Amino acid sequence: MPILPKVRDPRLITVRRGGSLTDADHHLLAEWAIRCTEHVLHLFEAEAPDDPRPRAVLDVARAWIRGEVPMKTAHNAAFDANSAAKGLPDPARFAALSAGQAVAVAHVAAHDLGAAAYAIRAAMAASPDARLRERDWQRSILPAPVRELVLDDQRARSPICWNVFDD
């Protein structure tokens, strides 16, 4: 199931690519996605304690935010997290996939919602009643400058994100 819409919201496309998203807001979306992933990453690390890949890609994502690595490096790091997810139980698998989405925000800002959605799925896989608690926690840490943008995007894309953002 795709988590990116066929028609992209121009507010989630960088100014350089013809949208209206500033670099500062792009970085805020990336940091929020990283924090969403970190909140559930323990589920991966409990299952695969010797596999550093998902946490390492979050370090790459933060390095991209600081301007220390190019977008292409961050984008390519997503594949490491996705590979780490293979063959694992759902809580660990979804947490690793969340990390892949978080670092991919450097390439396409709309991956922020993918990171959040996979983090919610990881929490739900570990505890079926965790969806609203995780969603509400994520919303509580949304940076003010991008809060309404993300909430609008959640309403628009919840159906293609497993309805995890629904009320």
The confidence score (pLDDT) of residue 1 equals 53
Domain contains 16: no
Residues counted in the chain = 167
| Residue whose tokens read 């995007």 | 153
Q: What DSSP string runs through 25-59?
A: HHHHHHHHHHHHHHHHHHHHHHH-TT--HHHHHHH
pTM summary value: 0.97
Domain holding 63, by residue range, is 27-161
The residue ranking higher by pLDDT, 153 or 2, is 153
For the chain, the domain total comes to 1
Assess if residue 102 is contained within a domain. Answer: yes
pLDDT of 2 > 80? The answer is no
Work out the average pLDDT over 63-69: 98
Q: Is 76 inside a domain boundary?
A: yes
Q: In terms of C-beta density within 10 A (0-12 exposed, 13-18 middle, 19 or more buried), how is residue 86 classed?
A: exposed
Residue 9 lies in a domain: no
- 99 in any annotated domain: yes
pLDDT band (50, 70, 90) for residue 6: confident
Can you read off the two tokens belonging to residue 11? 């507010």
